[in-house]
Amino acid sequence: MKVLGISGSLRNARYGAGSEQLAQELQNLSSETALTEFLQSQTRMCVEDVISAGLNDDIPFDQVYENLQSRSGDKGLSNSEAALAAGLWGAIQEGADIEHVGLAPYFPMNGKKRHLKQLKKIIMESDAFLVSGPVYFGDRGSLIQAFIEFISNDSDLKAHCFGKVYAGIAVGAKRNGGQETQLIYQLIDMCNLNMLAVGNSHKTSAQYGGTVMAGDVGTAWSDQYGLETSIGTGKRLAQVALSREACQSLSLKDRAKIGIWLVQDSSDHRGLAKINEWIDEHGRNDVDYQVLDLTHQEIYRCIACDLCPTHHAPADEYACIIKTGKDFFVRHHADLVSVDAILLAAYSPIDRQDVTSVYQQFMERSRYLRRGNYLLGDRLVAPLVITELNANQNLHIRMLTSLIRHHTIVHHPLIAVENEGEIINESFLLDQLDNFAREAIEITKSRLSRDPQHSDTWYNPIGYLISNERNQEDRRQGVLTKVFDEHQVVLTKEKSRRIAAK
């Protein structure tokens, strides 16, 4: 399984044989300390390069840039390249093969695109994609845009990328520079190309990917936490892609359970009726669709406890402070944690007077599931939104950005567009629904086939001192070990009950 690392900056220093050399250099780094030293020396080489290209010689920067073009491409790393190198190093630690490609030689500053057959070959020979680039105006730069268009406009590439795993890294000059917006837009575009998207790992608390802070040439090495998020992104990408590959020889003995959780609907249950119709008429036999209508359930708002979950507990034990028997989560905890995949569903008409929505309460109350060591983790997820034309609620984007924080795997959003009472893209929607179900089976196999000993996905309470102290105490008392051990026993049993060799 090969992870392709894609650098999207005109400042990139590695290309051609230099890309191959980078892959080899990363293979040879035996520790994170060695990686940091390597990134420091390589990013500094870029500073030396710009100086020797004339930066201090009172010549305009376009002249410096032109001088830089004569570089051999075999040393140095730009900021987003350094972050990518960290991600690729993470992927190697998980056992993936890697390759690096810089986009600048293919999409030059001006003039025609070049050597596209070669780029196509590189993409076609890769199994997972880690894309890193600078933040430009809170979004990606034009090289990554050209890369996305290149895939979108080529049917072979589109077919090859279908179902492949993607993750992103963004490097911006400042905190809040737009790293997250860039990653979110890119995630949506990659999902729309039918790739499966993942974020960074649980160690840096499962967000949208790698986010590094670096402005001037040669500075990315110093953002240690940013590089941690990048390493974690590469690791997560490799884990998901490797386990997906490893489960090809396995089959699922029972049916994958897809939870369809309806969080917004009209008073005449239009959304529920449509969803039931689609399942009845087009559902797959090898999948168990479990529709939960939450819109008439009482969902208490999150009171933002200082300690969430209330205690470290086995997955089947409810651990939120809200205990009233009327509350949806109290009553349905077992249903929520027992699914293999999640479609978060909503009906979104223009006129919202007649709509009941529990979406936001639902999402905020799911905090205890996330902080209870990602009880929905490694599930395939997607929004299923039936939206009236011009309703423009953007629910699918909000759902994606919240769902990925449950350490999940994101599928193409399922969006049905309604106009004058008719769903105008129904066949496209049904294809996506079918694809989601097929992919849910694969992802379930890969989740269950992983060695339970190595599936300790724990929640790291970054930014929460009180939770950290509690965790340390629980670790000392052996509470965390006990919960993990019990979890592994449950997983081992589930694996032998549900997975078989083909």
Task: Provide, rounded to whole angstroms, the least separation between the CB of residue 27 and ligand FMN.
Answer: 22
Q: What is the per-residue binding string for ligand FMN in 117-146, x denoting contact by CB under 6 A?
A: -----------------xxxxx--------
Task: Provide, rounded to whole angstroms, the least separation between the CB of residue 207 and ligand FMN.
Answer: 16
Closest CA to 173 of 206, 222, 102: 222
Nearest CB to ligand FMN, comparing residues 136 and 484 = 136
Nearest CB to ligand FMN, comparing residues 76 and 383 = 76
Give yes or no for residue 296 binding ligand FMN (CB under 6 A): no
Give yes or no for residue 227 binding ligand FMN (CB under 6 A): no
Q: Give residue 477's region: left, alpha or beta (phi > 0; psi -120 to 50).
A: alpha
Give yes or no for a contact between 375 and 337, defined as CB atoms under 8 angstroms apart. Answer: yes
Task: Provide, rounded to whole angstroms, the least separation between the CB of residue 233 and ligand FMN.
Answer: 16
Q: What is the per-residue binding string for ligand FMN in 2-21, x denoting contact by CB under 6 A?
A: -------x-x----------
Report DSSP state, residue 300. Answer: P
Paired sense of beta strands 380-388 and 2-7, if any: unpaired
Give yes or no for residue 79 binding ligand FMN (CB under 6 A): yes
Give yes or no for residue 22 binding ligand FMN (CB under 6 A): no
Give yes or no for residue 408 binding ligand FMN (CB under 6 A): no
In sequence order, what DSSP letters do the residues of 209-241 get, joined into one string? SEEEE--STT-GGG-HHHHHHHHHHHHHHHHHH
Give CA–CA dist 448/492, Å, rounded: 8
Task: Provide, rounded to whole angstroms, the least separation between the CB of residue 110 and ligand FMN.
Answer: 15
Q: Give 284-287's long-range contacts (Cβ < 8 A, gap of 24+).
A: 284/434, 284/437, 284/438, 285/255, 286/252, 286/255, 286/256, 286/437, 286/441, 287/255, 287/256, 287/257, 287/258, 287/437, 287/440, 287/441
Q: Among all chains, which residue has been given the structure tokens 């040393």?
A: 75
Give CA–CA dist 182/188, Å, rounded: 10
Give yes or no for residue 78 binding ligand FMN (CB under 6 A): yes
Displacement of CA 77 from its chain's centroid (Å)? 25
Task: Provide, rounded to whole angstroms, the least separation between the CB of residue 89 and ligand FMN.
Answer: 17
Task: Provide, rounded to whole angstroms, the least separation between the CB of residue 401 and ligand FMN.
Answer: 19
Q: How far is CA 384 from CA 62, 343, 414, 444, in A?
A: 48, 6, 5, 19
Give CA–CA dist 466/473, Å, rounded: 11
Closest CA to 414 of 402, 401, 425, 403: 425
Nearest CB to ligand FMN, comparing residues 81 and 127 = 81
Task: Provide, rounded to whole angstroms, the least separation between the CB of residue 174 and ligand FMN.
Answer: 5
> Which range, of 76-84, 105-113, 291-299, 374-382, touches ligand FMN by CB under 6 A?
76-84
In sequence order, what DSSP letters do the residues of 332-352 get, joined into one string? HHHHHHT-SEEEEEEEE-S--
Q: Among all chains, which residue has been given the structure tokens 């929520």?
A: 336
Give CA–CA dist 227/229, Å, rounded: 5
Task: Provide, rounded to whole angstroms, the least separation between the CB of residue 371 and ligand FMN.
Answer: 29
Give CA–CA dist 424/418, Å, rounded: 6
Task: Provide, rounded to whole angstroms, the least separation between the CB of residue 122 and ligand FMN.
Answer: 20
Span 350-389, contacts to ligand FMN by CB under 6 A: none
Give yes or no for residue 172 binding ligand FMN (CB under 6 A): yes
Task: Work out which of 1, 3, 5, 80 binds ligand FMN, going by CB under 6 A.
Answer: 80
How many residues bind ligand FMN, per CB under 6 A? 20
Nearest CB to ligand FMN, comparing residues 143 and 480 = 143
Task: Provide, rounded to whole angstroms, the least separation between the CB of residue 214 and ligand FMN.
Answer: 4
Burial of 310 (0-12, 13-18, 19+ CB in 10 A): middle
> Which range, of 19-27, 168-176, 248-256, 261-269, touches ligand FMN by CB under 6 A?
168-176
Span 228-287, contacts to ligand FMN by CB under 6 A: none
The residues of the shown chain that bind ligand FMN, judged by CB under 6 A, are 9, 11, 78-81, 134-138, 171-174, 177-178, 214-215, 217
